[in-house]
Amino acid sequence: MRLVVVSNRVTIPDRHEKATAGGLAVALREALERHGGLWFGWSGVVGAARQLRETQRGNVTYAVTDLSEAERESYYLGFSNRALWPIMHYRLGLTEFQRSDYMGYLGVNRRFARELAGMIRPDDVIWIHDYHLIPLAAELRRRGVTNRIGYFHHIPWPSADTLTALPFSATLVRTLAAYDLIGMQTQLDTRNLIDCLMTLCGAKSDGRRVRLGARETVVQPFPIGIDVEAFRRLAAASARQAATPLRATRESLGERKLVIGVDRLDYSKGIVQRLEAFGQFLRSHPEERGRVGLLQIAPPSRSDVPEYAELDRMSDEVAGRLNAQLGEFDWTPIRVVKKAYSRTALAGLYRRAQVGLVTPMRDGMNLVAKEYIAAQNPVDPGVLVLSRFAGAAQQLGEALIVNPYDTHEVAEAIRTALAMPKSERIRRFEALYHVIETSGIHWWTRRYLEALTDAPAAAEDAEPPRKAGAKAEQPARRAGARNRPAVPERGEAKGAAAGAGRKRVSTPAETSHLTLVR
Ligand code: F6P
């Protein structure tokens, strides 16, 4: 088998990149190298020339295409990031829908399918990533691609009731039936997607397998992880070497404690609410003033989207106000740094911080939470304060779980974390470390690919170990799933599941979707 990965952005590795590439990029590259493969997607460049450019690195081909300015506006900034992103993060008030953006989104997916279809070999297994590319499999199937195709949704999936506010949501959701396997971050996302397929599209499901028309798709959670050992080593080395940002931070902090937040500058991350919560903490506990500081690292993101520009302005305003109200001539309570740092520097900063503040309003998984744990010194670890609305909270129940909408609760969790006795910090750290270690990024790629290629027993036990007593949203209605109409056994309906060598069946759903594209 050859592996074909498709993602919105593709970064072609160069010699210097090892220290900056994230765990996901590294793990996907490793999987591609293991099987031999192709990685296809947008080059990240906006230009008039849209021909495919291929670069060979070992046994992996990177095939990238530029987007035109109109495509970037409609497909990327418009439909992906002003419509899908907010609605998937439960932010109806921020969702901006334009028909022309949706047409552009479908158009780019159609173009990607056209360019990719010609490169597909019979033994390829295709793995498509994220919300930019939901209809890609339907477009590939339309071009006669019968290979196994998987999709992984990196961000949350809301309830059917929320999603229906998005025009054409039913036609878009229906295109997901073209996949053989859909991976989600959590049980909640899995349940929500299956509900959408059932209530919006009339699919039938047993809670895992979904049947829509002649197709059968498996939907299940595969919570993404990090390369724990690599990150742990990075943090330990960074602490020893005391590289520049870390040394400078240490010198400027002196004996003061450090609370750290690291996020793309995105409204889903709850940065403004977090700053307010830190201000509340200092107001409620004046004895802590001068003894602790918050460092918020927030590299700018999607700045051409108005909601992000507004967040940029608001975060400056809130940090400035709180510093002016609460700071002293020799102490600045909050530092917001809007630029990206190397992974080595971040690992060292996480290790130096007594508290990791990861409080998104909603997040698919949040790998910063896992990186913070991996970076800790096992004999004197810091404490993770984690939003109950991050997918990671489903696994990391030994963190201090908070509701990010409740400023007082977050403020008190900061206080609890700073005052926590060492024995309890170690106990919590060990439990959390065990979870992230046993469900790391290599576990994730292996389990997903085994399930996609239908290896024995792979799909059944994809849920990793999880700490008992996790207080976050529980996979509540699991029993309810059992009450849903059962899916007929494989083979009951002819051509039920697509797979290599099977004949392609065009469903009415695809047809109506494609009418719309044209
Ligand atoms: O999963 C969320 C995601 O869209 C990823 O696909 C991407 O790597 C990240 O957020 C950053 O987003 P962007 O590519 O829009 O800068």
Cβ of residue 302 lying under 6 Å from some atom of ligand 1: yes
Q: What pLDDT score does 23 carry?
A: 66
Q: What is the DSSP letter of 80?
A: I
Closest CA to 326 of 269, 386, 277, 258: 277
The pair of three-digit structure tokens given for residue 242, joined into one six-digit string: 């005391």
Q: Is the pTM of this model over 0.85?
A: yes
How far CA 259 is from CA of 7, 15, 241, 304, 330, in Å, comes to 34, 34, 21, 30, 18
- Of ligand 1's listed atoms, the one at least distance from the Cα of 81 is 15
Cβ of residue 365 lying under 6 Å from some atom of ligand 1: no
Cβ of residue 72 lying under 6 Å from some atom of ligand 1: no
Cβ of residue 130 lying under 6 Å from some atom of ligand 1: yes
In angstroms, what is the span from residue 37 Cα to ligand 1's centroid? 22
Q: What pLDDT score does 255 carry?
A: 84
Give the span between the Cα atoms of 42 and 504, in whole angstroms. 27
Mutate which of 5, 6, 7, 8 for ligand 1? The one with the most ligand atoms within 8 Å of its CB, which is 8
Q: What pLDDT score does 50 carry?
A: 75
CB 126 within 8 A of CB 1: no
Q: What pLDDT score does 497 carry?
A: 31
Sign of the CA dihedral with 11 first, then 13, 16, and 20 last: positive
Q: What pLDDT score does 112 carry?
A: 98
Q: What is the pLDDT along the chain (518 residues), one digit of tens a residue?
A: 899 999 999 999 886 555 456 668 888 988 899 889 999 999 999 997 778 999 999 999 999 999 999 999 999 999 999 999 999 999 999 999 999 999 999 999 999 999 999 999 999 999 999 999 999 999 999 999 999 999 999 999 999 999 999 999 999 999 999 999 999 999 999 999 999 999 999 999 999 999 999 999 999 999 999 999 999 999 998 877 765 666 777 777 778 999 999 999 999 999 999 999 999 999 999 999 999 999 999 999 999 999 999 999 999 999 999 999 999 999 999 999 999 999 999 999 999 999 999 999 999 999 999 999 999 999 999 999 999 999 999 999 999 999 999 999 999 999 999 999 999 999 999 999 999 999 999 999 999 999 999 854 334 444 454 543 444 433 333 323 323 322 222 222 333 332 333 333 333 333 333 333 32
Give the span between the Cα atoms of 426 and 424, in whole angstroms. 5
Q: What pLDDT score does 254 carry?
A: 78
Q: What pLDDT score does 20 carry?
A: 55
Q: Whose CA is nearest to atom 4 of ligand 1?
A: 130
CA torsion 404→409→411→415, rounded to 10°? -130
Give the span between the Cα atoms of 85 and 71, in whole angstroms. 17
Task: Please enumerate in sequence order all residues whose Cβ is within 8 A of that of 83, keeping only pairs 6 or more positions apart, or say none.
Answer: 95, 96, 97, 98, 101, 102, 166
Task: Please enumerate in sequence order all residues whose Cβ is within 8 A of that of 289, keeping only pairs 6 or more positions apart, or say none.
Answer: 282, 326, 328, 331, 333
Give the span between the Cα atoms of 380 and 334, in whole angstroms. 24
Q: What is the largest CA-CA distance in the chain?
A: 75
In angstroms, what is the span from residue 414 Cα to ligand 1's centroid? 29
Provide φ and ψ at 98, rounded to 5°.
Answer: -130, 130
- Amino acid identity of residue 262, one-letter, is V
- Amino acid identity of residue 456, one-letter, is P
The pair of three-digit structure tokens given for residue 24, joined into one six-digit string: 């996901």
Q: What pLDDT score does 485 carry?
A: 27
The pair of three-digit structure tokens given for residue 500, joined into one six-digit string: 């290599």
Residues annotated as catalytic (active site), given as ranges: 154, 363
In angstroms, what is the span from residue 178 Cα to ligand 1's centroid? 23
Cβ-based neighbour number of residue 61 at 10 Å: 18
The pair of three-digit structure tokens given for residue 127, joined into one six-digit string: 């793995």
In angstroms, what is the span from residue 21 Cα to ligand 1's centroid? 14
